[in-house]
Structure 1
């Protein structure tokens, strides 16, 4: 994920290539009435970051490297990728419902918050001390709400979705529960798709 995201960021820096505009997300891309129905941007948004400040991608990739490696080692690569993508989708659904449909957003923060939620759920399940993690999540959420340029909607959506995915993973750890796990994860994706479809026909 880090390598792909960094490569995309380098492409973003090339003038005239239009990578940011092609991959960023806004609610309008999920609402046909706005004339440009491109729902895949709900996932591709995680690949692009702000080019006006290097701190956006640096902080996200730092979190992904520090937290992502640990989560991946605990749940496996396949489940990690699923978690990352579903959390991204959840963040975009929150943006769709809670932000202006014309406000573009970029970044992997929805996925990062999904990883934070997963690490919290796993730590709680194993009886670990989660105080520091709760403080970290709380500080970041507060910063999200008070900083105008940050999409708090994507952060909250990714956090909630990642938490739900994590609960499914820790409750179905055995190989014999694999089909149940897949069905539950598919149900989460299904709910997110239904919510997206509902918002696409609502006018508020």
Structure 2
């Protein structure tokens, strides 16, 4: 049987699995303050954690010592490790692409079906190059493109990773990126190449909205941010809106399954949601490929 929910010691209505690494009191994302290892509560940062036996501050709860996030993930000493790896991976691939030239980009970006004069025939996802659905998510060309995406990944991804745990966060990121690629493949012109982590970023943004609603936070800031990003998506030229919308839909759905899963069936519901999302992506790609090549 699973333990009962633990709530932030300063906000009793907010469930959390994050605890202060110094005093082990449960803290919500609003109260946690980044430290060299994990997070600290405001009292520890203010130097009041060692007030002695006469302190009125609440002591650590038995459950708080169990390092679990709100989604059931394992708490770690570095709650941004996966985000750091993703940022580094995107930057390394960008640098490699700069050195290798356009040929590498042409081989890895997302294109449904297009004639490639370099090889003398049609290439793309429709020709069986399904790896493009994944490689395009880690591919960038312009400096501003990768700079904006990586800054967004750092700001949005770090808190999400801390709240979900590494495995769930990585699954959310990859599935959101695949969702963006699948919708682009379904709706965009088949000879139109696209690339970038924007679909995955939009998935993280949708997941942030789901998490904030679950924690009963003020939704206005994240709704405003989401509306602004959607405005840019549909008004600026050269943006693959299909990838943004696809990532947003998948990320929101996966995050909902993760943070609203009942405790007694948490793992089953969470990974079942991920499996359904992946299956939906596969079906979309398969149906579109049959339509193009059948």
TM value normalised by structure 2: 0.64
Which residue is equivalent to 1:147?
236
Which residue is equivalent to 1:82?
171
Runs of 5+ consecutive residues of structure 2 not aligned to the other structure: 1-85, 114-123
Write the distance in 1 (CA, Å) between the matches of 2:202 and 2:157. Answer: 11
| Deviations 1:131-154, CA, capped at 9 Å, x for gaps | 111111111111111122111110
Are the equivalent residues in 2 in contact too, given 1:110–1:158 (CA < 8 A)? yes
Which residue is equivalent to 1:27?
112
| Deviation, structure 1 residue 18 | 3.1
SS of structure 1 residue aligned to 2:221: helix
**Residue 129 and residue 43 in structure 1: after superposition, are their counterparts in 2 closer, same or farther (change >3 A)?**
same
| Deviation, structure 1 residue 120 | 0.3
Higher RCO structure, 1 or 2 (CA under 8 Å, sep 6+): 1
Which residue is equivalent to 1:182?
271
Structure 1 runs (4+) deviating above 4 angstroms are none
**Residue 77 and residue 31 in structure 1: after superposition, are their counterparts in 2 closer, same or farther (change >3 A)?**
same
Write the distance in 2 (CA, Å) between the matches of 1:203 and 1:22. Answer: 20
**Residue 123 and residue 198 in structure 1: after superposition, are their counterparts in 2 closer, same or farther (change >3 A)?**
same
Asked if 1:46 is matched to 2:46, the reply is no
Write the distance in 1 (CA, Å) between the matches of 2:220 and 2:237. Answer: 28
| Deviation, structure 1 residue 19 | 2.7
SS of structure 2 residue aligned to 1:27: coil
**Residue 131 and residue 40 in structure 1: after superposition, are their counterparts in 2 closer, same or farther (change >3 A)?**
same
**Residue 17 and residue 26 in structure 1: after superposition, are their counterparts in 2 closer, same or farther (change >3 A)?**
closer
Q: What is the total number of aligned residue pairs between the two structures?
A: 198
Are the equivalent residues in 1 in contact too, given 2:126–2:292 (CA < 8 A)? no
More helix by share: 1
Larger Rg: 2
| Deviations 1:72-91, CA, capped at 9 Å, x for gaps | 00001111110011001100
